Amino acid sequence: MVRKIMETVKIKDEYIKLGQLLKLAGIAGSGLEAKILINEGKVKVNNETVTQRGKKIIPGDTVSFKDVTVRVEN
């Protein structure tokens, strides 16, 4: 059985870039790791695969990798 994990990340600014969010949420340990995960198409934003590391993530967006989903709030 796969357990899905939902986390919330609060941001102060209008948006956060996808690579930064992956590091902040603990999904990626470094910028390089975030870049690889994104380039390999392993990350989804609002249930759509994204390959743009600099994609702006705004409050209300969800980012998923494997069994972890992160919801961004302000």
| String of DSSP letters for 11-52 | -SSS-EEHHHHHHHTTS-SSHHHHHHHHHTT--EETTEE---
**Whole-model pTM over 0.85:** yes
Domain count along the chain: 1
**pLDDT tens digits for range 4-42:** 778 999 999 999 999 999 999 999 999 999 999 999 999
pLDDT digits (tens, 9 = 90+) for 32-69: 999 999 999 999 999 999 999 899 999 999 999 999 99
Instruction: State residue 4's pLDDT score.
Output: 73
**Domain containing 16 — which CATH number?**
3.10.290.10
What residue numbers bound the domain in which 34 lies? Answer: 5-73
